[in-house]
Amino acid sequence: MISYLKGTVVAKRRGCVVLGVNGVGYEVHLPGYVEYCLRDSAVGSEMELYILYHHPEQQPRPRLFGFRNEVEREFFEALTTVQDIGPTKAIAVFAGPVGRIARAIADGDERTLTKIKGIGPKLAKKIIAALSDKAGKFALLPADTEEVPPRSVEDIRGEVVAALTTQLGHRKSEAQEMIGRALKRKPEIASAEELFEEVYRGEKPPAST
């Protein structure tokens, strides 16, 4: 299992970085706040990340999630234990300093949690119920750091259109239709990764003739 990587930034894409370590390129997904804090790390610079290795049975390949320190990784992992929050949703939740989010959880502050895109009142209650007893140590961390600028729906759509057309060979009009259907099924989607997964989760193969 991979728990830490230190290497050279080979490529950067929205929400992830490719880290070159001893001739191997590792694609590492970054929660929004982590990505924002590392925004000045250019291609060719050195980066070290604490890694959460995730490989559920239903997915064909593992995914790596990167963090600046062990505390961020531990907090992210705690979020994924909440019912209805997997890594994709946890990436959206992790949109600000750990201390601020954890303090809201420890205080039972649903209002602050529902300000995070993708968290409604029902999910906020679940997070508080599951993590209020565990959030105390995280709440001691600084809570007054910069916030991540929110991403617009158009930014998210544009990123997924690019992935569908350049990487998977779909026509642009076809990609836009697929995305439209995905957003109609799940309008609360808050990240490009979540939208990409919903596109393929909802698309059925054509009937054989």
Q: What is the CATH number of the domain that holds 85?
A: 1.10.150.20
User: In terms of domains, do 128 and 157 share one?
Assistant: no
Q: What is the mean pLDDT of residues 85-113?
A: 85
Domain, as residue range, for 179: 153-202
Helix (H, G, I), strand (E, B) or coil at 119: coil
pLDDT, average across residues 27-38:
88
Q: What pLDDT is recorded for position 8?
A: 96
Question: Are 63 and 81 in the same domain?
Answer: no
User: Which whole number is the average pLDDT over 147-172?
Assistant: 71
- Indicate whether 144 belongs to any domain: no
Residues 127, 167, single domain; the answer is no
Q: Of the residues 67, 102, 120, which one is the last residue of a structural domain?
A: 67
Domain final residue, candidates 87, 111, 139 = 139
* Residue 171, pLDDT score: 86
Q: For residues 8 and 46, is the Cβ–Cβ distance under 8 A? A: yes
Q: What angle do CA 158, 51, 88 make, to 5 degrees?
A: 40
Answer yes or no: do 128 and 87 share one domain. Answer: yes
d(CA 181, CA 200): 11
Q: What is the count of structural domains for the chain?
A: 3
Confidence of residue 48 (pLDDT cuts 50, 70, 90): very high
Say if residue 208's pLDDT is above 60.
no
205 pLDDT higher than 70:
no
Residues 6+ apart with CB under 8 A from 80: 54, 86, 87, 90
Tell me, yes or no, whether 81 lies in a domain.
yes
The sign of the CA dihedral 90, 93, 95, 98 is negative
Question: What pTM does this model have?
Answer: 0.65
Q: Are 131 and 177 in a shared domain? A: no
